[in-house]
Amino acid sequence: MALPFFSKSEIVAPADISAASLRSDRFRLEREVDWQRLEAIVTALEKNRPRSISDDDLLELPVLYRKTASSLAVARETSLDAATLAYLEALVRRAWFQIYGPRIGLFGWLRRFLGGGWSAAVRSIWLDICITFVVMVAGGVVGWLLVEQDESWFYSLLPGDSAGGRVPGADPAVLRETISTADGSSGLGVFAASLFSHNTAVTVMYFALGFAFGIPTLLLELWFMATIGAMLWVFFDAGMGWDFVAWLSIHGTTELGAALLGSAAGLHIGRTMAFPGDRTVMGAMRTAGVRAAQVMAGCTIMLIIAGMLEGFARQLVGDTLARFTIGGIMLAFWVLYFVAMPRPREHLA
């Protein structure tokens, strides 16, 4: 049987194998003490035992990491044995995670987010919130005045059956029925879930449209609040205006607050794209994106609460004063939270 042909360059002499093995052993022996020291520190940190690490070892951790990373680079360049290379790669990866990786878990992040991170992000876009708030108020006033001048405007703002029987000239009994309580709590959980889904979709749309320099967001908010203003006119004209405001306030102070913040976050993105200042557009967008994402994450929490209030409290609480009380408490809570909650120490806006 013929032997396979090998060129001289492909033949590895036993002496070469011994030299490579000796070189790998010498390389490992010269640096193994630092590797073992780093591994002991990393293992203690992984087991959540930082107190077992001496002060000297803790101070040397970055130095040991850099030395081990350098050893890994040398091992890759010189093609040392696979076992040494795999060991170093695993050790460097573990050490990197302990030094540069995230230091808090989900609950830690949530605690810091609710403990000031969210409110700080909201305060950082105060100008966009003010602009959106003015547009929302203007929309409500415009809707009221249009319907007051000509009732046909109501059907232009709320076409078809979207008003649910709350139309100009409707019988007061019909209007009162639309803001009455539900008979029992059966099915309200599903109702609350559907409300949350709908409100979330609308708020996300407000935010997404902000990328077109914020103009569609403001126009959509103007139209939405015009429908609220038109509805207010209908109930005040029927002598039940404050009953309607109380009914709306239970969830409205939270739901409209989420819509305000979502629209402002979208406007913040669009305004930053249009006016990046002395920064590059990408650099400005990066910072604005972080703030807007934090605000939108908080809006989700507000919408969950609004869905619960709309699905349960609004359907079960019928007294006007009680409804005003719930809505007023929620409004005061959100205002105090966003204004008075201190900024967390490690928060990065």
Full pLDDT tens readout for the chain, 349 residues: 444 443 444 443 444 444 545 566 777 788 888 889 999 998 988 887 888 888 888 888 889 989 898 888 887 877 667 788 888 889 999 888 888 766 666 677 788 889 999 999 999 999 999 999 999 999 999 999 999 999 999 999 998 788 888 899 999 999 999 898 876 555 556 656 666 777 788 888 888 888 788 899 999 999 999 999 999 999 999 999 999 999 999 999 999 999 999 999 999 999 998 888 888 888 888 889 989 999 999 999 999 999 899 888 888 898 999 999 999 999 999 999 999 998 876 544 4
| 287: enclosing H helix or E strand | helix 281-308
The C-alpha angle 81, 82, 85, rounded to 5 degrees, equals 90
pLDDT at 17: 40
Q: What is the pLDDT of residue 124?
A: 94
pLDDT digits 0-9 by tens, 18-71: 454 556 677 778 888 888 999 999 898 888 788 888 888 888 888 998 989 888
Question: Helix count (H) and strand count (E) of the chain?
Answer: 14, 0
> Where do the domains of the chain lie?
14-100, 107-340
Cβ-based neighbour number of residue 185 at 10 Å:
12
User: Could you give the C-alpha distances from 278 to 61, 96, 282, 283, in angstroms and in order?
Assistant: 39, 35, 12, 10
> Rounded to whole angstroms, how far apart are CA atoms 337 and 324?
20
State the Cα–Cα distance between residues 219 and 236, nearest whole angstrom: 26
CA distances from residue 145 to 169, 234, 242 in whole angstroms, order as listed = 16, 12, 18
Give the CA angle between residues 195, 197, 202 to the nearest 5°.
Answer: 95
Instruction: Determine the pLDDT at residue 348.
Output: 40
302 and 225 Cβ atoms separated by less than 8 Å: no
Mapping DSSP to helix (H, G, I), strand (E, B) and coil, where does residue 92 land?
Answer: helix
User: What is residue 79's predicted lDDT score, i.e. its pLDDT?
Assistant: 65
| Closest C-alpha to 69, from 24, 38, 48 | 38
Q: What is the pLDDT of residue 281?
A: 83
* Rounded Cα gap, residues 266 and 206, in angstroms: 7
Max CA separation in the chain (angstroms): 108
Q: Please answer whether residues 166 and 154 qualify as being in contact, where contact means their C-beta atoms are separated by less than 8 angstroms.
A: no
- pLDDT for 232 equals 96
What's the rounded Cα separation, in Å, for the pair 53 and 45?
Answer: 8
Q: So what's the pLDDT on residue 102? A: 63
